[in-house]
Amino acid sequence: MARSFVSEARRRGLGTRKQRIGPIVERLAEAHSDAEIALHFGSDVELLISVMLSAQTTDVNVNRVTEKLFVKYRKPEDYLAVPVEELERDIFQTGFFRQKTKSIRGAMRMLIEEFDGQVPRTIPELLRLPGVARKTANVVAAELGDAQGIVVDTHVRRLSQRLALTREEDPVKIERDLVKIVPKDDWHRFPHLLIWHGRRVCDARKPRCEVCTIEHLCPSTRMAETTL
Ligand code: SF4
């Protein structure tokens, strides 16, 4: 599927990925000037916990749980001070609660023992925390002000493919393609722009190409079909 979008971009003379990326970012930034992380947090530790809880669930659901969680658990030590079952109960509604509890407690222990209770800034350090994979590390580093890669979630993957910015399916390979063309200064906001555009306009099943601000830059527009 993604492969044919790349051929279509070439066939319609839309320009190369490098030529299109600037206008794509510009147009999306105008259309979604409010695009930012949807998780609610008030500290670096809360950011890390929120992102860890967001696996396999919605940001809205995580915010509902953390609204109470962050009143009760204020520092890394608090997550280790309660019985495992209590923390499991407190995060139950985010799903996969047993695994998430294990990961959170492991991560908090490592923060205390190896990072003076602070959330580390670099991807290699973040990846050492139990339960923290590349996507979580990328989100946390970017929100802490030093994006060291591009977050690839389901929206970023779908839109990057539809826009023929990548031929890949695997998130790690998609990220590798994106960091080659997206200017480093935009690594933080780029995934947010795609995520919000994916939620508001470029729906997985029913993209609203007729109102899309980057329609003229997109090889998978449905408008081309209607004008043929
Ligand atoms: S033109 Fe259609 S398929 Fe392309 S990005 Fe816009 S909504 Fe998505």
Mean pLDDT of 76-100: 98
What pLDDT, on a 0 to 100 scale, did the predictor assign at position 69? 98
Cα 136 to ligand 1 centroid, rounded to whole Å? 27
What pLDDT, on a 0 to 100 scale, did the predictor assign at position 75? 96
> DSSP string covering 87-106, please?
HHHHHGGGS-HHHHHHHHHH
* Residue 4, both tokens: 């044919």
- What residue ranges line ligand 1, CB within 6 angstroms? 162-163, 201-202, 207-209, 212, 214-215, 218, 220-221
Say how many Å lie between the first and final Cα of the chain, rounded: 20
Cα 142 to ligand 1 centroid, rounded to whole Å? 26
Of 14-18, 71-75, 149-153, the poorest mean pLDDT is in 14-18
Active site residues: 135, 153
Does pLDDT of 68 surpass 50?
Answer: yes
Question: Which of 25, 196, 218 has the most ligand 1 atoms within 8 A of CB, as the residue to mutate?
Answer: 218
Tell me the residue ranges of DSSP E strands in 155-222.
Answer: none
* Residue 157, both tokens: 């993957």
Cα separation of 125 and 127, whole Å? 5
pLDDT in tens, 9-52: 677 777 889 999 999 999 999 999 999 999 999 999 999 999 99
Comparing C-alpha atoms, which of 157, 152, 146 is closest to residue 133?
A: 152
CA-based max dimension of the chain: 65
Question: Residue 226: which pLDDT band, with cuts at 50, 70 and 90?
Answer: low
pLDDT in tens, 126-147: 999 999 999 999 999 999 999 9
Cα separation of 111 and 126, whole Å? 10
How many CA atoms lie within 13 Å of 68's alpha carbon, on the beta-carbon side? 10
Question: Which of 4, 205, 216, 222 has the most ligand 1 atoms within 8 A of CB, as the residue to mutate?
Answer: 222
Question: Residue 3: which pLDDT band, with cuts at 50, 70 and 90?
Answer: low
* Residue 135, both tokens: 């996507």
Mean pLDDT of 158-171: 96
17-31 vs 189-200: helix crossing angle, rounded to 10: 70
Cα 151 to ligand 1 centroid, rounded to whole Å? 20
